[in-house]
Structure 1
Amino acid sequence: MNYIVTGGSGFIGTHLINLLKEVYPDCNIYNLDIVENCQDGKATYINCDVRKPIDLKDVMITVDDIIFNFAAVHRTPGHPDHAYFETNILGAENVTAFAKKHGIRKIVFTSSIAPYGAAEDLKEETTLPTPNTPYGISKLIAEKIHTIWQAESQQERQLTIVRPGVVFGKGENGNFTRLYWGVRGHKFMYPGRNDTVKACIYVKELVRFMLYRLEHHEEGIELYNCTFEPAYTIEQIVETMKKVTGMKRSVPLIPAWVLMSAASVIGCLGAPMGICPARVKKLMVSTNICGKKLAASGYIFHYTFEEAISDWFKDNDNQYLK
């Protein structure tokens, strides 16, 4: 049996490969990516662009193989609209076509909370998706492509779709990393409010949950929001980072009207650094994602939120978070 990881050189893929080798030391892992990542021989790298049909000529594929589909264009904003659709939709089509060709029966697909759209209301797995970005739309379509693959052979095929909140941990270089360095450098201020909910999950917890579902999901389709429950506010996140890393910082709150007025003036100057009222307003909207289904799944979290931040800090030799 093989583990086939598309996008295995990325943040989540790297952590999954590390976990697979820890749990199953003798397993065969294939990393399909357009970027090679040195993983100390834990996985066999194969240059693969999921936007094109997948053909692994030198790999002995079996029906018992498992696919983890992580390949995606995800940073938003940051790419032209067509890039999200091209990679995320064609990638889903080519991955499921590969699985169908070889009779592979199990896929884990990493989606996103972006299909829910930006709104303050609590989102459960049963909430009607209303994506309002090219990334969110492309991810929802990709979910449907995987769902169609499973529906073509419902009794044999198993599909797990996860919608993680903000994923943090070593190698993230994303929202949490920027938040930490902003606080550390006295450059972060609460934008408009400090009770904005920011649903999140530790990367090591996310990949452990994926393996747990493979062991406890026999057939059909399952969808899970992946986040700590209840979700944390931005102030709780900042205070935990400060506590764990020993930072002594006072983080001020800038009123919303001040931010919006400044953004309007800057926007009239051509929106340098991407600053505009729409983006500032987005900062003040919660990612209020419900994690009760995951909490009730039988999975036992390995880390509290504070322990997760501490483990991340330890992974960086107790020097910083990145």
Structure 2
Amino acid sequence: MAVQGFIGTHLIALINNLYPSAKIYNLDIVENSHKGKSAYINCDVRSNINIDVPVTSEDVIFNFAAVHRTPGHPDQAYFETNIRGAENVCAFAEKFGIKKIVFTSSIAPYGAAEDLKTEETLPTPNTPYGISKLVAEKIHIIWQAKKLNERQLTIVRPGVVFGKGENGNFTRLYWGIRGGKFFYPGRKDTVKACIYVKELVRFMLYRLEHHDEGVELYNCTFEPAYTIEQIVEVMKKATGIQRTVVKIPGGVLMAVAGIVGLLGGKALGICPARVKKLMISTNICGKKLADSGYKFHYTFEEAIRDWYEDNDSLYLR
């Protein structure tokens, strides 16, 4: 099995717990600390994948490789890694006759809009990241179609993935609340679909065990998705923060973010683009997952508490 990065770290821990004899290869351009539970191989998916390890048709590929933080990268970086990477991963699977791939896509292919999105919604991506992820999905689907009755492809489109090691949207939100630097930008009812990383990797293994062939696509999010106000209140409750978060007109906050950005705030993730992103819902339907037979191990509050406990009940990071 091959895994990478933040989500891969949690997948490795779960596989080692459930299948201690499984051999795991961690292919990445940066070595992560997995305490000897996986074999690290330096690999850049933008190039042909050639690794000197035994590979059989019974192996499983978990493809998490991506340039994903947005905004934050030149447009070309998303296409180069996400599209070329998909091509090279599928070529590797083709070469060795591997029959199973789990591909982590994103909700970005849906595009930014307030309407509820299901797996049947026509994707209309409006960012380089979303476009590159949709193309990467199609590349994997073409790989599966070459042997329809043999190959198994699971595509997951997670909302915001949070948990230990994330260092992304939820981490910034927590430290913003804790430091008194987060304000609701014009509204409190913005929907922000999300999923706990431990829940996501459990669902991936569940689908491997309950899916024999073909292509399946799942939005991965709590159902129904939570509003930013609900997320903030649960985060405060689970971590013991006693602070009132106030609402500020979006235009005012955008102007302040612009000034802070000019003064070096971009390094802290403070910029008009991120404020604007907070003001637009990611209203993703997780009903298909909820009806799949999979049983969630955590409520949203339990997930935040578990993440907090993973950091010795000191902070979220």
Shorter-chain TM range is over 0.9
What is the alpha-carbon distance in structure 2 between the residues aligned to residue 43 and residue 261 of structure 1? 47
**Corresponding letter in the other structure for 1:165:** G
**Corresponding letter in the other structure for 2:159:** G
> SS at 1:243's partner residue?
helix
| Residue in structure 1 matching 2:293, options 298, 301, 305 | 298
Equivalent position of 2:218 in the other structure:
224
| Residue in structure 1 matching 2:192, options 174, 187, 198 | 198
Equivalent position of 1:96 in the other structure:
90
| Residue in structure 2 matching 1:118, options 100, 112, 116 | 112
Q: Is residue 314 of structure 1 aligned with residue 309 of structure 2?
A: yes
> SS at 2:283's partner residue?
coil
Equivalent position of 2:129 in the other structure:
135
Pairwise mapping of residues 274-293 of structure 1 onto structure 2 (< 5 A)?
Answer: 279-293=274-288
| Residue in structure 2 matching 1:28, options 16, 23, 26 | 23
Structure 1's 277 and 60: CA in aligned 2 closer, same or farther, altered over 3 A?
closer
| Residue in structure 1 matching 2:2, options 1, 4, 26 | 4
Structure 1's 257 and 72: CA in aligned 2 closer, same or farther, altered over 3 A?
closer
**Corresponding letter in the other structure for 2:284:** I
**Corresponding letter in the other structure for 2:311:** N
> SS at 2:116's partner residue?
coil
Structure 1's 61 and 286: CA in aligned 2 closer, same or farther, altered over 3 A?
same
Q: Deviations over 1:210-247 (max 9, x none)?
A: 00000000100000000000000111111111111111
Would you say the 8 A contact 2:184–2:246 is kept in 1? yes
What is the CA distance between 1:157 and its match in structure 2?
A: 0.3
> SS at 2:164's partner residue?
coil
Q: Deviations over 1:80-104 (max 9, x none)?
A: 1111100111110000000011100
Counting aligned pairs with the same residue, the percent is 76
> SS at 1:162's partner residue?
strand
How many residues end up aligned between the 2 structures? Answer: 314
Would you say the 8 A contact 2:71–2:273 is kept in 1? no
Would you say the 8 A contact 2:137–2:155 is kept in 1? yes
What is the alpha-carbon distance in structure 1 between the residues aligned to residue 272 and residue 63 of structure 2? 35
What is the alpha-carbon distance in structure 1 between the residues aligned to residue 68 and residue 126 of structure 2? 14
What is the CA distance between 1:280 and its match in structure 2?
A: 3.5
Q: Which ranges in structure 2 are unaligned for 5 or more consecutive residues?
A: none
Q: Deviations over 1:263-305 (max 9, x none)?
A: 6x859x9696467766543321101000000000000000000
Q: CA RMSD in A?
A: 1.7
Equivalent position of 2:37 in the other structure:
42
- TM-score normalised by the chain length of structure 2: 0.95
What is the CA distance between 1:60 and its match in structure 2?
A: 1.2
**Corresponding letter in the other structure for 2:150:** E
What is the alpha-carbon distance in structure 2 between the residues aligned to residue 121 and residue 46 of structure 1? 42
Q: Is residue 15 of structure 1 aligned with residue 10 of structure 2?
A: yes
Equivalent position of 1:81 in the other structure:
75
Equivalent position of 1:215 in the other structure:
209
Q: Deviations over 1:140-199 (max 9, x none)?
A: 000000000000100000000000000000000000001001000111100100111000
Equivalent position of 1:173 in the other structure:
167
What is the alpha-carbon distance in structure 1 between the residues aligned to residue 25 and residue 78 of structure 2? 24
Q: Which ranges in structure 1 are unaligned for 5 or more consecutive residues?
A: none
What is the CA distance between 1:38 and its match in structure 2?
A: 1.6
